Structure 1
């Protein structure tokens, strides 16, 4: 596995680079979870099980799509195909990464590229810049993706902190039975407490409704049915 090499994207150094967006079965996608923001829930909940976790860097709550049952396992990868119509923004942005010098100012950052990614080459795929140095439509979409991720991450964290303050979250460990008497557990996850949500009244209910938390909670709760799909995919391997 080649060593990761990041560089801040700039016109002169990267004008000849292309990104093979069709190549999804790459090292950086072999993960069993990815970050999700509230703004993409309405599409992702139809295909992914979404839970809540805490960021290792900031310890803030975040929305998380489960992609596999074990570390480094992505069951949505099927050869060179991705087994879902919609991809999370956190997957679509690869092989680019956010470079944020000051964590307290997440919107003040730059975009870096992982040069040793198998997606990066000089022959096939999407160019980053036109001959005149202007960003291509593809790279503009990447910039928009990062803007959505940065803004969406803060909004999602604020919503989930509100849920925590209202004691609407509960920590869970998902114990899963697999073939041949195997077992696995997904830990460090949180879910919305259905009973406490249902019991909300008055000012608390209004606050959850006005903030959008109520809609987010219902979307996340509805997505848990897709966990069985992951188990079925694992069993088919």
Structure 2
């Protein structure tokens, strides 16, 4: 598996030969996501995510992808509590799909279901949801996991098309977030892009109408409204009482197909 799959330690293909007696026990928390400070979002998640996260656009090769900001420093997720619970009502789909993930084959069209064997809830004692039945056939639980991952990928592809349109319209501009902590300590988060309001307003009426007709204009405004959630990031940062000094930081990169780092 790609080393860029940062929340996955030992993801391997799911098979009856290897996992016939394997089960997944839920409720083990989100400790696996403690060291990621941004995660990719799909456009369909914007309405719920915008209420709790700052949504920005990060470079991923030649493309840009929307990401939810989870922290202001590398290796720190401010939304995972000490007890491994998540401190927001909406948990991004990228996180919820764990410990499962698709691995793309060489042709880029075929995918293999994989599971992270380092997941605390994975066991061979029958606790939780079995992956295979006594005949070695995958269970309804696994069928539902596959459907979830298929839908995630489908929504990701649609989101890519939305991001390409933003780039074609030249609406994105670099931005940095400044944080002033207790005692006057300052931090900055750079390397991401946001939509320029002036450029948006300057678009021809016909283009704006097209964006409204495809609901992409709504996505744009949800992104812009989400910028106020940088205040939540600062508040969580203050409560975390970090020991490190001020300085530019870079959110961790995520998987090859979806993730993008917010880097300085």
Q: Deviations over 1:93-148 (max 9, x none)?
A: 1112221123x73x531121111232322343333233344444432332122112
Given that 1:52 and 1:62 are in contact with CA atoms closer than 8 Å, whether structure 2 keeps it comes out as yes
1:146 to 144, 149, 155: 149
With normalisation by structure 1, the TM-score equals 0.87
Do the aligned partners of residues 83 and 197 (structure 1) sit closer, same or farther apart at CA in structure 2, a change above 3 Å counting? same
Partner-residue secondary structure (3-state), 2:227 = helix
Q: Is the 8 A contact 1:20 1:120 kept in 2?
A: yes
Structure 2 CA distance for partners of 1:28 and 1:82, relative to 1, 3 Å: closer
Structure 2 CA distance for partners of 1:219 and 1:131, relative to 1, 3 Å: farther
Structure 2 unaligned regions, length at least 5: 1-7, 241-264
Answer whether contact 1:20 1:126 (CA < 8 A) is retained.
yes
1:67-78 equivalence runs, <5 A:
67-78=70-81
Q: TM-score, normalised by structure 2?
A: 0.79
Cross-structure match for 2:115: 113
Query: Which blocks of at least 5 consecutive residues in structure 1 are unaligned?
Result: none
Query: In structure 2, which of residues 196, 199, 202 is the aligned counterpart of residue 196 of structure 1?
Result: 199
Residue 28 (structure 1) shift: 4.1
Q: Which residue matches 2:92? A: 88
- Is contact 2:34–2:76 with CA below 8 Å preserved after alignment? no
Tell which deviates more after alignment, 74-83 or 32-41. 74-83
Equivalent residue number for residue 35 of structure 1: 40
1:224 aligns with 2:196: no
Q: SS where residue 218 of structure 2 aligns?
A: helix
What CA RMSD, in Å, does the superposition of the two structures yield over aligned residues? 2.2
- Runs of 4+ aligned residues of structure 1 deviating over 4 Å after TM superposition are none
Q: What's 2:29 paired with?
A: 24
Q: Give yes or no for the alignment of 1:177 onto 2:180.
A: yes
Q: Which residue of 2 is the match for residue 101 of structure 1?
A: 105
Aligned length in residues: 231
Whole-angstrom CA distance in 2 between matches of 1:29 and 1:126: 24
Cα distance in 2, alignment partners of residues 187 and 125 from structure 1: 42
Distance 1:164 1:96, change over 3 A: same
Contact 1:159–1:211, Cα closer than 8 Å, also in 2: no
